[in-house]
Structure 1
Amino acid sequence: MKFSHSIQFNAVPDWSSHYIAYSNLKKLIYQLEKTVHQASTGDGESRPLIQNEDPEVVFGRALDVELEKISSFYVLKEQELTDEVHELLREVGAFEDESGDTEATPRPGSSQILSGPVRPRSQSTRSRTSTDDGADDSDEDMADETAGLTRPRKRRTSSNKRRSGLINPMLASTTDMTASTDLTRSWRRDSMAFDDYAEQAALYSSGIVLKKKIINLYVQLCELKSYVQLNRTGFSKVLKKFDKIIDRQMRAKYLETYVDSNYPFRPETAAALDGEIMSIVKAYTSVVTNGDEEAAKRDLRSHLREHVVWERNTVWRELIGLERRAEAASLGHTLLGRDGDGQKMLSESGLLPATKISTPLGRFTLPTWLLSSTMLTLVLIISLFFALLIIPILEKPEQQNCLALLVLVSLLWATEAIPLFVTSLTIPFLCVVLNVFRDAKKPHERLGSKEATAAVFSAMWTPVIMLLLGGFTLAAALSKCSIDKRIATFVLSKAGTQPRTVLIANMGVAAVASMLISNVAAPVLCFGIIEPMLRNLPAGSDMSKAVIMGIALASNIGGMLSPIASPQNVVALGIMKPAPTWGQWFFIVIPVGVISIVLIWLLLLVTFQPGKGTTIVPIRPVRDSFTGIQWFVTIVTISTIGLWCASHQLESVFGDMGVIAIIPIVLFFGVGILTKEDFNNFPWTIIILAAGGLSLGKAVNSSGLLHTVTKAITVEVQDFSLYGILVVFSALILVIATFISHTVAALIILPLVYNVGKGLDEPHPNLLVMGGVLMCSAAMGLPTSGFPNMTAIMKEDPAGERYLQVKHFISRGVPSSILTLVVVITVGYGAMRIVGM
């Protein structure tokens, strides 16, 4: 992520104008670069006004302005927060004195109350709490706000010695089952005098207010500390860029002379701020955790983490981060090597890591990637490719070449020796060079290179690709306007606190989100929403494992619920003739998806048993009203899906679903809801992958190879019934898609399945393709079987331990895949026959 984006991403929204103007400084650097390199000729009016000034002087003045702005804001904010801290500490002292006057017998079940967190609000939220939310918000947050306020009290009169201290009845919902039972028993056993109850209620009210103040102050102090660090990094990076572009050495001198000596960046200033933070921690320790400072630090850090995640992160930003980390990790495994001392080495070019090897002829330095296992795999695949080109297997040369191309591409996709989209880009090149295309009018003649080029590139951009772009556009708009999160939190807020209900609700939300915004973004969204619940579950809780596993498996099932939910569905639509309508698709997949999710839910309940001793913190819905933009996005999305459902009836108007997909693209980008940055952030690698797969399918069909292979397979299965062939191919695709990408499995196998179905005595090619594509989504037996599983296996608890292990996916994912297979070949088969496939 660029630092200009990072500073926007990490900045406190209310302080955004007080951060270093990094983008403006970069623009100034580029202007100065033009000035430095501009020729001295020309009239004076055409030259920049800063022509005769030293770039360091001009840039230094701009930095001085930013430094003064930051310093002034920091001094004011620090004084404001310091005053609040001192006032808070006085209130804490008064609270301790008051609570020390009344001591009560420890309340039954009070230790369980400590688990509930308070979600800190941003400044803008805090400022409007009293006016916008009113009593409803305070009632809703009561359980969270009283978490940990279980300090023992002294009793003033001897008449109360026989009574146990009781908490406010409204707090009973925050305790677990044991605590609730003990509390109820205590309530029935004794009654409390009104004056004692009023006294304790007042103390609890004071404690609630104190706890909220402590958390809010802690968050603001940490934000102020981050403000200093972020701006210090900004000065360092912009000076580094200045030195690099203008060819100066200003960075070290300016940082040492001006930045580090300025008040916000001095070590003593940072130490004073850390001291204020520690005083807040001690106050929390005194008021909430009964002297346990480590518990106080953990609680406050969790509140701060929740504040950052909930208020600033978005699904697409998290997704982009995950993709970049995955790409970086892949690059590291492929290219980075270490020498004998464990130190990274660079080749003489300084671009690629290198390794020194000793041979009888001397020591040589070779790029590390030449010695990696990936390189060995690549060499073996290319060797097999050339062997298939040379060794005669088929009679016709175009089919022989196409077979070699098919094996090469399939192995590269399966092993990921090079990125998937790079493999896709090699397909049109090899199709033209190997002359695998034949003339449709003269099947025995091969197309020349010029004609083959037009044919292969026409196959790469079809209405299917436009449909994929339309799906990405709808997903981006729903996510950017937070409509997906609003719907998800609303549904989950109605799920209650019963573990089995919460589990099925999360699975349902994940499936529907996958249907609308793809099964890539859906698990990221759902994991972000359940973060508060996961944090409040005990370490190693079976409920946390069950809900994470449930979201992953339901997201895989959700990948089959709509034609745009996953790329393999779009590929299947491009293969089936005629393509099914959205209504037909829903008629088939909705029963299959619902029954599969229910069966997987029962499997998780039986294997994890998440209800034992589990207390769920309810998820609160977003209470803000729908904005005009959100209504607009919702109406356009529903209208587009409606047109897709009626695409066959509207064929005379729109021609194809791909044309309908242009409507949301034009509307959302045209009115500015989505920007060119959003367009650039589309997963173009998936689009290139799908385009390459379509061109491969056309090549295999045009060369005649598909017909030859289909004929051979048809002979082997000619004694099978249609149902038997469906079972065989569904099981085969399920196994293959478990080990390789779902999309890749669809690209390789579905064209073959279609042709096999077309060659049967009872031709039902669309039925076999539909069953096959559903099994692509149902392949979820391994952590690497699809993006939802990969996201789930990487989910970590606050201690940095992964919630799930590989054994959890094998023991739950494999049975889930088998259950879905059974549903597809029974319920799905019946639905497909009803719609006439």
Structure 2
Amino acid sequence: MKFSHSIQFNAVPDWSNNYISYSNLKKLIYQLEKHVNQTHGHTQDAESSPLLNGNAEDPDTVFRRALDLELEKICSFYQSKEREIYEDVGVLLRDEQVFEEDADGLEQDQGDGALRSTSAGAGRARSGSIFRSIGFSGRQRRASTMSASLDEPDEDGDSDDEDPDETEHLNKHRFSAGKERRRSEGAPASESRASRELSRFQRRASESRRLSQGIDDFNDQAFSALYDTGLTLKKRTVSLYVSLCELKSFIQLNKTGFSKALKKYDKILDRALKPVYMDQKVSPAYPFQQETMNTLQDNIKSVESAYADLVTKGDLSEAQRELRLHLREHVVWERNTVWREMIGIERKAQAANMGIGRSFLGGATDPVRARRQGDEAEDGGAKELSTPVGRVRCPRWLFSPSFFLLLAIIAVFVVLLIVPIMKKPEQQNCLAMLVFVSLLWATEVIPLFVTSLLIPFLIVVLRIVRSDEKPHHRLDPKSAAKYAFAAMWTPVIMLLLGGFAIAAALSKYQIAKKIATLVLSKAGTRPRTVLITNMFVAMVASMWISNVAAPVLCFSIIEPILRNLPADSNFTKALILGIALASNIGGAASPIASPQNIIALQNMTPQPSWGVWFFVALPVCIISILLIWLLLLVTFQPGKGTTIVPIRPMKDKFSGVQWFITAVTVGTIVLWCVSHQLEAVFGDMGVIAILPLVLFFGTGILTKEDFNNFLWTIIILAAGGLSLGRAVDSSGLLHTIAGAITAKVQGLSLYGVLVVFASLILVIATFISHTVAALIILPLIHQVGAGMKEPHPNLLVMGGALMCSAAMGLPTSGFPNMTAIMMEDSQTGQRYLRVFHFISRGIPSSIITLLIVISLGYGLMLAVGL
């Protein structure tokens, strides 16, 4: 997480305006950078640097002034907040002491109540006692100390509920009535004395019960008051503990903010201000002094001790554990409530930017449609229809164009299953499945990997595959299931996983970025040199960390250059477009650079070694990039009036982990290059790919989260494509189609067939995914090549794979193009490139690469024996 976001998510909401303004300091750094570079480029004027009012003031002075203002704001706020919280801590500790005294006093009163006298002075509450707040009088206090014994009567005869005389009169009345009744019944006169004794005992017992009830009522009130006060003190203690921890976090966040701001300033402007300012200004400031932190820690310990005495019976460790739990609950609640709105706003802003970026594809960006889409989301994605039987709620996706397109594709699938085209039923079903899957992939009405998951299901249900031994017979569903799933997991998939592991390690530990910045720092400031250097860096990065991650890495490296150039600069357009086109070309440079290369290896028998691949692909890629570079120079003319900020290399030295990753990567690549010579040991390149997986994940360099972040959708897509290729081959359909195409191109030479298929793939891959084009076309090319009089299936397959990566005429033709079209100026929010730039430069670049493949590439493939 970026530190600017970390401040937002960890700051106390009520104090948010008093933290270091890290984002503003970053903007100031970038403005100073632009000012310095403009001054060195002699393009400085009064309007180009409003920050400095046109004066060539030292950037250190300007930045120091901004830091001083931030430091003064933080110190002033901290001192006032510290004074307020420390006063509350002092009051809490005094109240807690009074509470303990009252609790001890009540406990002693209960223990000695049966033995203490009922004198007026004995029941007076202590001065400052919490019991004064509930209005206990001296009379009530005396009542609480009365004896509950039944052996002695109450001398005063005082009762709150009944008058003793009235009770005595009532008892006499009851006794007389009982005496008369006994006489009338013939009771003996000797019972009269016993009756009087019984009446006396009942009277004293009744009085004792009333006294006991009064004592119990008072004790309940006392305990209730004591409990309520203790609960309040507990809440105050927790609240103050949270406040003290927030105060501690305030110090730490702001100190880190100063350190990071100064580090960024030194890095971008190549200065050494950080150690001086931190030692002279930040460290001596009151909030960042060690004495301040010690005092704060002492107050935290005091609150912990008070909580222990109050709640955990003096157990300090248990008190600390409970307070940390309370702090965690507070932070979670705060982030889930107070910050939810801010996160929602940020997500809406990102969604709006994505909508602007997708407008070239016809996405809706007008507020009316956006509001309607929001209303649909709130409505649960349902739409009401009026029917003869009433109103029915239906999902809205049933009325989308994609759903009708899906229905049309399913209708085509059903028709192909019914209308007899092929002679054999397994080939008829396979043709229907092939067209069905190809249409789903091409239109993307459902996700690509979901379509791949459909393939083994259709293979089994339609009974497409046949046995490998002659005479071929259709496999039963159980055997077909084993066949389909065995085709999905091959050594090629392990090769793809090994490539993902290498890419993840190189990116996670910034090895690729260090190497890239080192190379780019040598490029100087000449526009044409910087452009060609960035293009080759993008190509090499695509070889090893995939052509998906390479443009993202390169665009992050050139940010200092982009910040210091106008948004409409021709060099900016040439640089971004050059990186995208070079990343596309780099997708053909190594077998693990892109999924289409993995699919090509699966369709080549025998599979070429890495050395053979490099021998053919690297010259084709290098010559293509050089010619595309010349095209960009001619069409953009980026050197006019352009001042470029040099890129500085990362100063951190290689750590032991980085050297280990580099050694494993180089060792794995060397083994891949000589895999044919080591077949007796490893058997296949997929087995070698296990080495980086075991070494990186086994040592903890990569974690299970990194494993989960692999592009599993690409893996499923490739696995489904491999299963489809095996099924089409097993059914005999591929052989039949290849035979028909071979008959059509029978008069053409191998070179003519290469030109036809290379051009076909270039057109198809321009409009659909490169990987999808490879999945559909490469198995067919292999069969056509195998059926020729002079079979060269590997040559045609590799030529087709190179052309899949060369399709880059539209913004949607590949991942690098899609990343480039989304690049925008941070200040104006305007995109650097338009669709026109891709059409006017991407299509000629694709044609240039096609010419290189069918000329230089063809000669190299023949020379290597493909």
The answer on whether the counterparts of 1:345 and 1:354 sit within 8 Å (CA) in structure 2 is no
Paired with 1:804 and 1:674, the residues of 2 have a C-alpha distance of 36
Task: Please show how residues 608-627 of structure 1 align to structure 2 within 5 Å.
Answer: 608-627=636-655
TM-aligned CA deviation for residue 532 of structure 1? 1.4
Distance of 1:419 and 1:522 partners within structure 2: 24
Q: Which residue of 2 aligns with 1:724?
A: 752
Q: 1:802 aligns with which of 831, 835, 847?
A: 831
Contact 1:783 1:793 in 2 (8 A): yes
Q: Give the Cα–Cα distance (whole angstroms) in 2 for the partners of residues 539 and 325 of structure 1.
A: 19
Query: 2:609 aligned to 578, 581, 588, which one?
Result: 581
The answer to whether residue 413 in structure 2 is matched with residue 385 in structure 1 is yes
1:486 correspondence with 2:486: no
Structure 1 window deviating more from structure 2 (670-679 vs 215-224): it is 215-224
Matched, 1:176 2:41: yes
Residue in structure 2 matched with residue 834 of structure 1 by the alignment = 863
Partner residue of 2:715 out of 687, 692, 703 = 687
Q: Distance in 2 between matches of 1:216 and 1:461?
A: 58
Distance 1:223 1:706 in 2: 74
Q: Distance in 1 between matches of 2:639 and 2:370?
A: 52
Query: What SS does structure 2 have at the residue aligned with 1:365?
Result: strand
Match of 2:434 in 1: 406
Which amino acid counterpart does residue 672 of structure 1 have in structure 2?
G
SS at match of 2:58: helix
Name the CA distance, whole Å, in 1 between partners of 2:66 and 2:802: 48
Cα distance between partner residues in 2 of 1:671 and 1:484:
20
1:188-203 → structure 2 map (5 Å cutoff): none
- Cα displacement string for residues 306-341 of structure 1 (whole angstroms, at most 9, x for unaligned residues): xxxxxxxxxxxxxxx99x979x999x989xx99998
TM-score w.r.t. length of structure 1 = 0.65
How far apart in 1 are the matches of 2:554 and 2:849?
22
Which residue number in structure 2 is paired with residue 470 of structure 1? 498
Which residue in the other structure is 2:567 paired with? 539
Q: Is the 8 A contact 1:177 1:615 kept in 2?
A: no
Residues 27-77 of structure 1 deviation map (CA, whole Å, 9 limit, x = unaligned)? xxxxxxxxxxxxxxxxxxxxxxxxxxxxxxxxxxxxxxxx8xx99xx79x9
C-alpha offsets along residues 343-371 of structure 1, whole Å, 9 cap, x if unaligned?
64569xx8941233456776543211100
**Distance in 1 of aligned mates of 2:413 and 2:709:** 35
Residue in structure 1 matched with residue 635 of structure 2 by the alignment: 607
The alignment status of 1:825 with 2:861, answered yes or no, reads no
Sort the Cα spacing of 1:356 and 1:210 in 2 relative to 1 into closer, same or farther, 3 A.
farther
Q: Which amino acid aligns with 1:648?
A: H
Pair 1:498-2:526 in alignment: yes
SS in 2 for 1:651: coil
Which residue is equivalent to 2:668?
640
In 2, distance between residues paired with 1:829 and 1:409? 32
> Cα distance 1:589–1:7, how it changes in 2: closer, same or farther (>3 A)?
closer
- Cα distance in structure 1, aligned partners of 2:802 and 2:755: 12
Structure 1 residues 219 and 797: CA distance shift in structure 2, 3 A:
farther
Cα gap change, 1:826/1:492 in structure 2, threshold over 3 Å: closer, same or farther? same
SS of residue in 1 equivalent to 2:383:
strand
Residues 344 and 621 (structure 1 numbering): CA distance in 2 closer, same or farther, change over 3 Å?
closer
User: CA offsets, 1:119-162, max 9 Å, x none?
Assistant: 58xxxxxxxxxxxxxxxxxxxxxxx968648xxxxxxxxxxxxx
Q: In the alignment, residue 690 of structure 2 is paired with which amino acid?
A: I
RMSD: 4.1
Q: Could you tell me which residue of structure 1 aligns to residue 618 of structure 2? A: 590
Give the secondary-structure state (helix, strand or coil) at the position aligned to 2:393.
strand
* Displacement after TM superposition at 1:118 (Å): 7.5
Secondary structure of the 2:568 match is coil
**Aligned counterpart for 2:64 among listed residues 189, 208, 213:** 213
CA distance in 2, matches of 1:755, 1:816: 29
- Whether the aligned pair in 1 keeps the contact of 2:548 and 2:816 (CA below 8 Å) is yes
Q: Distance in 1 between matches of 2:757 and 2:618?
A: 22
Cα gap change, 1:217 to 1:11, in 2 (>3 Å) = farther
1-structure distance, mates of 2:702, 2:71 = 32
Shift in alpha-carbon separation, 1:329–1:616, aligned structure 2, 3 A: closer
Code of the residue aligned with 2:853 in structure 1: it is V
Q: CA contact under 8 A between 2:34 and 2:563: conserved in structure 1?
A: no
Q: Paired residue for 1:651?
A: 679
Tell me the secondary structure at the aligned position of residue 445 of structure 1. coil
In structure 2, the partner of 1:342 is 372
Aligned to 1:29: none
Pair 536,9 (structure 1): closer, same or farther in 2 beyond 3 Å: closer
Q: Distance in 1 between matches of 2:806 and 2:736?
A: 29
> Partners in 1 of 2:358 and 2:581 — Cα distance?
25
Contact 2:18 2:74 in 1 (8 A): no
Deviations 1:226-266 (A, max 9, x none): xxxxxxxxxxxxxxxxxxxxxxxxxxxx9xx979x979999
**Does residue 771 in structure 1 map to residue 799 in structure 2?**
yes
The answer to whether the Cα contact below 8 Å between 2:18 and 2:73 also exists between their aligned partners in 1 is no
**Amino acid aligned to 1:209:** D
**Contact 1:713–1:756 (CA<8 Å) still a contact in 2?**
yes
Map 1:551-566; keep pairs closer than 5 Å.
551-566=579-594
What SS does the corresponding residue of 1:653 show, helix, strand or coil?
A: coil
Secondary structure of the residue aligned to 2:748 is coil
Instruction: Give the whole-Å Cα distance in 1 for the aligned partners of 2:682 and 2:777.
Output: 30
Query: What residue in structure 2 maps to residue 356 of structure 1?
Result: 384
Matched, 1:734 2:762: yes
Task: Give 1:49-128 correspondences, 5 Å limit.
Answer: none
After TM superposition, the structure 1 = structure 2 runs for residues 279-318 of structure 1, keeping only pairs within 5 Å, are none
Q: Secondary structure at the match of 1:342?
A: helix
| Contact 1:478/1:633, CA 8 A, preserved across alignment | yes
**Cα 1:655–1:665, aligned 2, differ >3 Å: closer, same or farther?**
same
Q: 1:557 to 1:9 in 2, by over 3 A?
A: farther
CA distance in 1, matches of 2:702, 2:70: 32
**CA contact 2:34–2:564 (8 Å) conserved in 1:** no
Cα distance change on mapping 1:598 and 1:218 into 2, 3 Å: farther
Matches within 5 A, 1:212-291: 212-214=63-65
CA contact (8 A) 2:567 2:832 kept: no
CA contact (8 A) 1:571 1:690 kept: yes
Distance in 1 of aligned mates of 2:484 and 2:510: 40
Letter in 1 for 2:568: G
**Is the counterpart of residue 11 in structure 1 residue 41 in structure 2?**
no
- Output the CA distance in 2 between the equivalents of 1:214 and 1:617: 25
User: Are the counterparts in 2 of residues 424 and 688 from structure 1 also a CA contact under 8 Å?
Assistant: yes
1:195 is aligned to none
Question: Hey, what's the Cα distance between the residues in 2 that align with 1:117 and 1:384?
Answer: 57
Instruction: Confirm or deny: 8 A CA contact 2:543 2:586 kept in the other structure.
Output: yes
Q: Which residue of 1 aligns with 2:479?
A: 451
Match of 1:249?
none
Aligned: 1:706 with 2:734: yes
Q: Check the 8 A contact 2:488/2:719 in 1, yes or no.
A: yes
Question: Whole-Å Cα distance in 2 between the matches of residues 603 and 453 of structure 1?
Answer: 51
Q: Relative to structure 1, is the Cα distance of residues 569 and 789 closer, same or farther in structure 2, using a 3 angstrom cutoff?
A: same
Aligned-residue offset at 1:832: 0.4
Structure 1 runs not aligned, ≥5 long: 1-5, 21-66, 89-115, 121-143, 150-170, 181-202, 225-253, 289-320
Identity %: 61
Q: Are the aligned partners of 2:589 and 2:618 in contact in 1 as well (CA < 8 Å)?
A: yes
Q: 1:631 to 1:146 in 2, by over 3 A?
A: closer
User: Is the contact between residue 338 and residue 345 of structure 1 (CA under 8 Å) also seen in structure 2?
Assistant: no
In structure 2, what residue type is equivalent to 1:731?
S
Output the CA distance in 1 between the equivalents of 2:66 and 2:573: 29
- Within 2, Cα distance between the matches of 1:362 and 1:700? 49
